Structure 1
Amino acid sequence: MHDTTRFDGKIAIVTGGAGGIGAATARLLTARGAKVAIADIAFTAAQALAGELAGARAVALDLEQESSISAMIADVAAHYGRIDILVNNAALLGPDIAKADGNVEDMATDLWDRTYRINVRGTMIASRAALPHLRATRGNIVNTVSSLALQGHIIQAAYSSSKAAIIQMTRAIAASHGKIGVRCNAVAPGMTMTPALKEAFPAELRAVVEGETLRDRLGEPEDIAEAIAFLASDAARNITGHTIECDGGGTSHVPGLAGFRAFFGEQA
């Protein structure tokens, strides 16, 4: 019987694949049989990871440069002969960016524009370049978005709204390409314990989010990788145009749940 969670013979691209969720995804897809192109602006780190994974290849990628995105897709197609999966995971992140990305009244136009240029425009160009190859293989796209795209917050207005735009792009690609066999879905992680997040958010803020999580811990990159791999696999063959919230239940309940728990003395 065919194991629908396997990727034997499949070629996958993971953008932002050198670290965090991207690296966890590259490792998981490789473990399940795929050959993975690790596309990242951090090329040295991508090379190091590719050296650990059978059949993997590091490819330089700068999502601000259309020529770099097009060259990355062309490189992967030429090297492997096909593309089956595109994981659009790369985004503008980092401690300095997180600190600068606040509310709209205080927003720097340059930061807003750069966030959209990398997150939204970059995802569109990568998808556009990959779609002819995905047509041929009846492949699929998985976009990494964020639970912040589904909620209002007092911080990260640029990042959260750019991720909301990608959710709509996910629906648009699913609608326009579903009849020719190309699926497109998204995964919306909650706060995930990547090295970059640990650096950007102090422990006390992480504790606030953990209090609103319905599990006993915050998510790890491997948790998100599992959701991405599921959507990319044949096990999800009848799912397209959807966003899966992989956030430990953080967006599933009334606001202030942690405070209610404390008031009523409930530990569950």
Structure 2
Amino acid sequence: MTQKVALVTGAARGIGLATTRLFLKSGWRVALVDWDGAELTSASADLEQVLPIECDVSSPSDVEDILSKTLSAFGQVDALINNAGVADFGPIEETDFERWRRVMATNLDGVFLMSQAATPALKETKGNIVNIASISGLRASTLRVAYGTSKAAVIQLTKQQAAELGEYGIRANCVCPGPVRTKLAMAVHSQDIIDAYHDAIPLNRYGSEEEIAEAICFLASDKASYITGQILAADGGFDSTGVGLPALRKS
């Protein structure tokens, strides 16, 4: 049986790299895409059955190059994982159009461009798309007017993809991570923020990169063969709590 192939964007670190490693553990081959060439080289140095590609998913010409290189090396694409994204937060009044476009270009345009370019290959394999949005696309929060809006749009785009591509056997689903214990998050989250998340999340903790990767790889696998158009919040219950009253919690 031919090894399946995953194309993972934003794969040089964090959730993307954890997802890549889990695919490899499951016997897949992986094309890793990131715009940070140095980090991508470092991340892929100890990996086998991978193809690192330094490209920008917000560039139509780069996206064509990504698909061309992947198909040339592996001959097929069974799963497209649209994980590349930028987290640029700020107040509405300070979010100028340049910041807005920078966020939308990667977080939304990149998902659209990659999915559109990969569709012919996915038709051949009856493959699937897993888009990575965010809990910020499901519930509003301060300082996230561009980021949250981009992720909400990714959620709707996922449903559009499921509705239109299902007739070709292509599934499309979306994972919305909640707070995740990445190096970046831990570097910028104060103890007050960490404590606040503890109070707001029913499981009383951040998620791990590996836990999000498990959700992604499940949706990309044959085990999810009748699941499409779904939005999975991997968030420790964060979205289920609404406003909540942490003071009434027992711990």
| 2:21 corresponds to 1:21 | no
CA distance in 1, matches of 2:134, 2:35: 21
- Residue-pair matches, total: 251
Deviates more, 1:57-66 or 1:177-186: 57-66
CA displacement at 1:198 relative to structure 2: 1.7
Picking from 133, 154, 162, the partner of 2:142 is 154
| 1:180-238 residue CA offsets vs partner (Å, 9 max, x unmatched) | 10000000000101112122322321221121111142101001000000100011111
Percentage of identical aligned residues: 35
CA distance in 2, matches of 1:219, 1:252: 15
Amino acid at match of 1:14: V
Amino acid at match of 2:126: R
Write the mapping of 1:89-128 to structure 2, written as runs, cut at 5 A.
89-93=83-87, 97=88, 101-128=89-116
CA distance in 2, matches of 1:35, 1:175: 28
CA distance in 1, matches of 2:58, 2:216: 24
CA distance in 1, matches of 2:231, 2:2: 25
TM-score (norm 2): 0.96
Instruction: Give 5+ residue unaligned stretches, structure 1.
Output: 1-6
CA distance in 1, matches of 2:231, 2:64: 26
TM-score (norm 1): 0.90
Contact 1:8 1:34 in 2 (8 A): no
Pairwise CA RMSD of aligned residues? Answer: 1.4
Contact 1:17 1:38 in 2 (8 A): yes
Contact 1:135 1:182 in 2 (8 A): yes
Instruction: Give 5+ residue unaligned stretches, structure 2.
Output: none
Partner of 1:214: 202
Contact 2:172 2:228 in 1 (8 A): yes
| 2:155 corresponds to 1:167 | yes
| 1:120-143 residue CA offsets vs partner (Å, 9 max, x unmatched) | 111100001000000000000001
CA distance in 1, matches of 2:207, 2:245: 18
Write the mapping of 1:128-207 to structure 2, written as runs, cut at 5 A.
128-207=116-195
Contact 2:197 2:205 in 1 (8 A): no
Deviates more, 1:192-201 or 1:220-229: 192-201
| 4+ runs deviating over 6 angstroms | none
Write the mapping of 1:35-74 to structure 2, written as runs, cut at 5 A.
35-74=29-68
